[in-house]
Structure 1
């Protein structure tokens, strides 16, 4: 396969993966709360990864509009999935933290996602799976942050 054909194949594969990722995000948001929009799931994931984060960091990480992030944080608070607290040193700054409920529910959701991936990849040789994980990680490191 020449380079152009390989690039086309990668692009087509990413399109299929994107469809599956959107389906996974919809499922995850629905498992958190039936009325939660799918775009709230990545916001919660950023909060969970950080443990304590400010909205501006989420905006930069996801490349989402400030008003969308604010709306999703409000929805997540209303569902008891995040707490907001003022910075003890700078009352203008607000920190967002996941609640124990968010940690518990997301652990279940993420375990289900990993089980589905495990099922898809169970026939792969361990060496192939490790190489795929390494190459995918290397590629992901090349992707610029959402804010760029």
Structure 2
């Protein structure tokens, strides 16, 4: 297969993947709370991944508008998923961290995602799944 043909195939595959990702994000956000916006999901995941973290770090890491991050953080705090605490050394700094409820909800969501992926890959060999995982990690590594 020519490289240009392969790249066209990759683009087509990503188009289909993005549709599935949007569906997965909608389901995940709904599992956080019935009125949690899907756009809050990346903020939630980054707080889980990086917490305790400052909102300015979330803005930079996610490439989102500061007001959007603030709005999503407010929503996540109202649902009891994110805790905001002032830095004892500098009250101007707020540290954001996931609550125990956030970890509980994430565990349920992650298990559902894991089950769906197991079903998707059940016809693949273990070697193919491992190779796909390695290639996807290599592709998604920003460095």
Same structural fold, with TM-score higher than 0.5 when normalized by the shorter chain: yes
CA distance in 2, matches of 1:107, 1:121: 21
| Post-superposition CA distance 1:8-66 (Å, at most 9, x none) | 00111011111100100000001111111001111110011113111111111211110
Residue 64 of structure 2: SS of its match in structure 1? coil
| Two-structure CA RMSD over aligned residues (Å) | 1.0
TM-score normalised according to structure 2 size: 0.97
User: In terms of mean alpha carbon deviation, does 56-65 or 5-14 score higher?
Assistant: 56-65
Aligned pair count reads 143
CA distance in 1, matches of 2:141, 2:102: 28
Residue of structure 2 equivalent to 1:110: 110
Q: What whole-Å deviation, never above 9, does each CA across 1:77-126 have from its counterpart, x for those lacking one?
A: 11111110011122111100111111101110011011111110111101
Whole-Å separation in 2 of the counterparts to 1:39 and 1:48: 15
Equivalences for residues 46-85 of structure 1 within 5 A: 46-85=46-85
Residue of structure 2 equivalent to 1:137: 137
Give the Cα–Cα distance (whole angstroms) in 2 for the partners of residues 130 and 28 of structure 1.
25
Specify the alignment match of 2:93 in structure 1. Answer: 93
Secondary structure of the 2:5 match is helix
Gaps of 5+ in 2: none
| Structure 1 runs (4+) greater than 3 angstroms displaced | none
Report the TM-score when normalising by structure 1: 0.93
Gaps of 5+ in 1: none
Which range is displaced more, 2-11 or 53-62?
53-62
Structure 2 Cα separation of the partners of residues 64 and 96 of structure 1: 17
Structure with more relative contact order (C-alpha pairs < 8 Å, separation 6 or more): 1
